[in-house]
Chains A and B, each alone.
Chain A
Amino acid sequence: MSSPEQWTHPEPDAAPAATAAKPTAEQVIAGLRATDEGGADLVQLLTPEGERVTHPDFDIDITPEELRGLYRDMVLIRRVDREANALQRKGQLGIWVPLLGQEAAQIGAGRAMRETDMAFPSYREHGIAWTRGINPTELLGIFRGTDQGTWDPVEKRFHPYTIVIGNQVLNAAGYAMGQKFDGKVGDDEGEATMCFFGDGATSQGDVHEGFVWAAVYDAPLVFFCQNNQWAISEPTERQSRLPLYQRARGYGFPGIRVDGNDVLATLAVTKWALDECRHGNGPILIEAFTYRMDAHTTSDDPTRYRLSDELEMWKLKDPIERVKVYLVRQQWADSEFFESVEADADELGEELREFCTNMPDPPAERIFSNVYAEGNPNLEAQRDEFLDYVSGFAGGEH
């Protein structure tokens, strides 16, 4: 099912993946109607009601233990998100970028990756960071203003958060080209790269160029677009006439829309896409159809541009609740399990608060450090002059 031929020469299909209930682009842009249906092509394995369904192309065998693990991941990263949001409200962080609602998209994608795969995140990828083994405390400095990300991107295979929209897509394409040039693509031991970006980013030239580069160099790259329906205040209809996953066809590689609130489907589709890439059949675009349940950042006010009933609609599709329902119904988890996860979340929250409030400000020298790998005598002179000036105040009144 995965041959590029099939995707690059699809059946002519005039009918868009829409239902009669689907709002028009004009209605969405005007704020009159919301988009919450992913359409007929949406890959789903666990319904919002917690029912396990099958899909002809994508399925996954999941053990109770694995599903409990995914549930735990999602609960914990949601707690990290809520704690950090609260820390911003208390003045401990300058800003926070909430992931609320996107837990399944990120945990599903992140847990599909192998240690040898590489990830290039945008700035909302706290769940991906979690799956790469990065302590959530390492995210705080970026938003408190003490650093710009402290993890080792090479060791963790998790690039620094990229804030300029879409830049990282080209960086990821280059990295994936390097994996190919290094001979690390072509069998089951192959490497692959994942690149994360949002619906708004798809309008950026860099994302388009990333699609072109990855395609013409057959790069082992999974483009993972979290369509959370909103780019700050602009709905996806303002970025595209076409469902985003269908864009891939124009570049000559597969595009798949997955229910981004379904951790199982996201895991299954992403695993498949990564395997295709590591075998040399990349690139692939995945559009995870999800919803940003909170503001763009703590500085944003979504009540100015979207209806609250849209949020209520999406709350019914919560990514965590459906897994909980399924775990209970299958008797794969008992109350003891859920209580232990809550306890872990409480502990994590406390660790985060404790860490955040005790983070020291960086020293003044940090302004000048590591601008260059091989130094710059003029900059060093500027630094020394400034530090000399600062030291003049030492112990004095100023």
Chain B
Amino acid sequence: MAAPTMDRSTAAAPATPVQTLTISKALNMGLRAAMEANPKVIMMGEDIGKLGGVFRITDGLQKDFGEQRVLDTPLAESGIIGTAVGLAIRGYRPVCEIQFDGFIFPGFDQIVSQVAKLHYRTQGKIKMPIVIRVPFGGGIGAVEHHSESPESYFAHTAGLKVVSCSNPSDAYWMIQQAIDCDDPVLFFEPKRRYYEKGEVDTTSAPGKLFESRVLRQGTDATLVAYGPMVRTALDAANAASEDGTSLEVIDLRTLSPLDLAPVFESVRRTGRLVVVSEAPSESSIASEIAAKVQQECFYSLQAPVLRVTGFDTPYPPSKLEEEFLPDLDRVLHAVDRSLAW
């Protein structure tokens, strides 16, 4: 089933084309625009109706679109994903909210066994236009299972696409593009950045969904990050520039498929790469980037690819998360090591 054409100019255009919004509000507006553009778009999740979601991302949607399009579901993640599969077969485009990153695992079986494989199993006769929204990452002082970064599991699974937004403009546009996509998309939202503000131009999308983007140009070393770590990388680049070091910052945006052409191009100029991510480093997105960059940019590298990540432990008690999570100092420390190699 192809998605009906979405006429952005009339669908949900607010009065002012360029607005300053939080990521949270931008996601809410993006979801609203998608629901207005296509009656087959439905929301499913726990507490997403009257409450508007624990982070209020779906605030007001049930009120305006009804209980049949914004479903407060029973509390079972496999049920949310498993019934979304059936609804997708029936022609719907379900957008599932997983309340917190660490709660996605009861739905893991349905995601990797059915959502990811039905298109392949049927050789294209069944499409799975499902978006699974996951507020992810730490830094909010939460209890266990509320601060995880499980994206690598899904990037490792063929048949799924995985993206992460880092700013309000991308939040607004990427969620709509993900809903338009005929493949299943895991949509990782940087929960600790939900209330950061930025300008959103609601008249036209600034780019495609599965593209990485250079956010800041530099010459001495390249930083690659996604989701909540993009802000950290940009802050590090600002701080470095005060010391006369010029860092290029790339927002990965898409984790599967990876779009590493801008990274290769950058590393061929700078010769140095530091990958920043909250997820543990072993067998991670950061590992994959390191492998691909050494393969494509072998003779350009002036130093090994370095990774600044969460540690290879379960997420620690929150009083220790400042130490666990990569921050500006750890990023700059890695940059220094790279430059001194």
Contact = CB atoms under 8 A, between A and B. Distances in A.
A250 interface: no
Contacts of B128: 373
Interface string B165-186: 0000000000000000111000
A149 B122 contact: yes
B204 interface: no
Nearest to A209: B79
B257 A371 contact: no
A167 interface: yes
Interface of A: 120, 147-150, 152-154, 159-160, 162, 164, 167, 169-179, 181-182, 205-206, 209-210, 212-213, 216, 369-374, 376-379
A150 B91 CA distance: 20
Nearest to B256: A376
A372 to B, nearest CB: 5
Given A174-B87, A378-B258, A209 B76 contact: yes
Given A164-B109, A377-B257, A212 B76 contact: yes
23 contacts: A152-B125, A153-B122, A159-B89, A160-B118, A160-B121, A170-B81, A170-B82, A171-B82, A171-B114, A174-B82, A174-B89, A175-B90, A177-B87, A206-B79, A206-B109, A209-B74, A209-B78, A209-B82, A212-B76, A213-B79, A370-B119, A374-B181, A376-B161
Given A174-B82, A175-B90, A177-B83, 8 more contacts: A148-B120, A176-B86, A178-B87, A369-B123, A370-B124, A371-B120, A373-B183, A379-B158
Interface string B73-99: 110101101111111111110000000
B82 A216 contact: no
A373 B182 contact: yes
Contacts of B16: none
B113 interface: yes
B126 interface: yes
A159 B90 CA distance: 11
Interface in B89-145: 89-92, 106, 109-110, 113-114, 118-129
Contacts of A154: 89, 125-126
Interface string B248-260: 0000000011100
B85 to A, nearest CB: 5
Nearest to A378: B257
Contacts of B119: 370-373
B257 A178 contact: no
B5 interface: no
Given A174-B83, A174-B84, A178-B91, A374 B124 contact: no
A178 B158 contact: no
B68 A181 contact: yes
A310 to B, nearest CB: 33
Nearest to B92: A178
